[in-house]
Amino acid sequence: TAFESIDILDEDDKYHLRREITHRYKQTGTLYYMVIMSSLAAAVQGMDEAVINGAQIIYPTQFGIGSKSQHDTWLVGLINSAPYMCCAFIGCWLTDPLNKAFGRKKTIFITCLISFLTCLWSAFTNTWWHLFIARFFLFVVAPKSATVPVYSAECAPAAIRGALVMM
């Protein structure tokens, strides 16, 4: 390796540089904590957007849109797809401004907080349009899906960066 011939490095420096190559996954506890938290951010976003589909057995009849008419079927579909459509058409445009204004960690925190609040809001709705509006506001969590991998890449050592970004 090239660093072996650098005169200003003492033997201890060379030992640690060799160790970086031979023990790629021997990292600090802080890095592994960051990896776990980043993975949870991805899991939380998926849960927030998808778990409502299990509740569609109950809420259409509860909200008066449970008939098999075309109108009610469209409303149920609209409620289920609201976060995905809004993330695609609105939320993706928030990623860069939020990251520039708040930085990556605060952007992740803000989007997780809004995600938590919209899930509570969804849980306490009593009409279909109220549920739709709560699900609509999940568009704010879209920047999380782009920010978390970038933040992980910035925190990871070069030798394992690709593995952490692909989690």
Q: What pLDDT is attached to residue 166?
A: 67
Residue 14, domain member (yes or no): yes
- Cα–Cα nearest to 113, from 149, 97, 137: 137
Q: What pLDDT is attached to residue 167?
A: 58
Alpha helices, H only, the chain: 11-22, 29-50, 52-55, 59-62, 70-89, 95-102, 104-123, 128-136, 142-155, 161-165
Residue 61, domain member (yes or no): yes
CATH number assigned to the domain comprising residue 33 = 1.20.1250.20
Residue 134, domain member (yes or no): yes
- Cα–Cα nearest to 81, from 131, 143, 119, 144: 131
* CA–CA separation, 94 and 10 (whole Å): 48
Residue 96, domain member (yes or no): yes
Torsion angle of C-alpha atoms 43, 45, 51, 53, degrees rounded to 10: -130
Residue 1, domain member (yes or no): no
Q: How many domains does the chain have?
A: 1
Residue 70, domain member (yes or no): yes
- Cα–Cα nearest to 148, from 28, 15, 45: 45
Residue 147, domain member (yes or no): yes
Range of the domain at 10: 6-165
68 φ/ψ angles, rounded to the nearest 5 degrees: -90, 20
Q: Is 142 strand, coil or helix? A: helix
Q: What is the pTM of this model?
A: 0.79
Q: What pLDDT is attached to residue 79?
A: 92
pLDDT tens string, the chain, 167 residues long: the values are 688 889 899 999 999 888 877 887 788 888 889 888 888 888 888 887 788 878 888 899 999 998 989 999 999 999 999 998 998 899 889 999 999 999 999 999 999 899 899 989 998 999 999 999 999 998 888 899 889 989 988 988 887 888 777 65
Residues in the chain: 167
